Amino acid sequence: IIGLAGEWLTSTANTNMFTYEIAPVFVLMESLTLTKMREIVGWPNGEGGAISNMYAVMAARYKFFPEVKDRGMAALPRLVMFTSECSHFSIKKAGGALGIGADNVILIKADQRGKMIPADLEVKIIDAKQKGAFPFFVSATAGTTVYGAFDPLHAVADLCQQYGLWMHVDGAWGGGLLMSRKHRHKLSGVERANSVTWNPHKMLGVPLQCSAILVREEGLLLSCNQMSAKYLFQSDKQYDTSYDTGDKVIQCGRHVDIFKFWLMWKAKGTVGFEAQINKCLELSEYLYNIVKKREGYKLVFNGEPEHTNVCFWYIPPSLRGMPPSEEWWQKLARVAPKIKARMMESGTTMVGYQPQGKSVNFFRMVISNPASTRSDIDFLLSEIERLSEDL
């Protein structure tokens, strides 16, 4: 409700925010909020999704090769970047969009829980160097989209330090856990990153869209993207033009995304967000415990989920009590799409499914709405069972 009120006010004001003079209060709110987010990440001094991940790659590339801004990719060696096979597709997309090439985004193996394997990262860094490429960027994921896995950030940071690479943390989905004293240890090491993506529009429940890129080195994003258009960014204004933050970004017209988040934070406080996050994680633990024990359910990976993602197969009566053969898995692969289609037809509830790696189609339940309750979870499971009685 508060976020919605914020969204309404923002749309009513309908202002841009490329310079301080045009939206002074919003610019200050953005500056304060990003400073606060940086503090939570663990960086001492202040400056501040898919688009955020692209900004991170741009800032890193500019840090190593500032000439890219004027002379383009032709002036650079072949750049190579790394991310895990379980990372979000936006990393590969950024490589494609920025002229690095999607083939130069090298995927690092993940373990059975979806966490990046640091030893494989090291092998692939060395291999890229031997092939004459220039490895410059690693994106570790804090909260992968499907499994909700947290990459081992300290181990990745050690390798980045050793080989001189930029470390980015994609915390689009998992960044919210930083607000919780109980769960923030899962992002231990994030303070060693050079940049962090954190989307308040995901786990924190801020209305779309609100995605932050935090860059440790102050001023880098500005020099990377600055074009100093004379009609906006005159240097002889009467105020401190460091508040003209619009030149940091690649957009010109930009919606004010910060106000609703600022307002929610003021209203709930960090403790409010913390309670919200803890509640979602408790609820997913509730679901996990049922799925682990109840007949007809099978977990995709062993062990308690670290985020709210609970990934499971539902095994309908006709497929129970058989040893899983190739053919059995093929049949199971058709179950989740069938149940989901029936859910849509009866209009009661929905849950996403997908295959991943060698795992055939499974359900992925994620909880980010703190208004969800145990009875919602019970209802979801009873619908799965009801709609698959004849399967």
Ligand X SMILES: *Cc1c(COP(=O)(O)O)cnc(C)c1O
Residues that bind ligand X (CB under 6 A): 49-50, 53, 88, 90, 141, 144-145, 170, 172-173, 199, 211
Nearer to ligand X, 33 or 388 (CB): 33
CB of residue 161 to ligand X, shortest distance in Å: 23
Nearer to ligand X, 94 or 125 (CB): 94
Contact 313, 298 (CB under 8 A): yes
Cα separation, 207 vs 4, whole angstroms? 7
CB of residue 232 to ligand X, shortest distance in Å: 26
CB of residue 12 to ligand X, shortest distance in Å: 24
CB of residue 79 to ligand X, shortest distance in Å: 21
Burial of 93 (0-12, 13-18, 19+ CB in 10 A): middle
- Sheet-wide strand order for 79-84: 105-108, 79-84, 134-141, 166-171, 195-198, 212-215
Nearer to ligand X, 198 or 312 (CB): 198
Please give the torsion angle defined by the CA atoms of residues 359, 362, 368 and 370, in that order, rounded to the nearest 10 degrees. Answer: -140
**3-state DSSP call for residue 293?**
helix
Contact 31, 243 (CB under 8 A): yes
CB of residue 93 to ligand X, shortest distance in Å: 10
Query: Which amino acid type is present at position 53?
Result: N
Nearer to ligand X, 280 or 387 (CB): 280
Residues in contact with 67: Cβ distance below 8 Å, sequence separation at least 6, in sequence order: 75, 76
CB of residue 306 to ligand X, shortest distance in Å: 13
Count of positions (residues) in the chain: 391
DSSP code per residue over 22-84? GSHHHHHHHHHHHHHHHHHHT-SS----HHHHHHHHHHHHHHH-TTHHHH-GGGS--EEEEEE
Nearer to ligand X, 27 or 169 (CB): 169
Q: CB 344: neighbour CB atoms within 10 A?
A: 11
CB of residue 366 to ligand X, shortest distance in Å: 9
CB of residue 300 to ligand X, shortest distance in Å: 17
Nearer to ligand X, 206 or 315 (CB): 206
Nearer to ligand X, 33 or 141 (CB): 141
**3-state DSSP call for residue 205?**
coil
Nearer to ligand X, 194 or 199 (CB): 199
Contact 305, 365 (CB under 8 A): no
Contact 296, 339 (CB under 8 A): no
Q: Which residue is nearest to ligand X (CB)?
A: 49
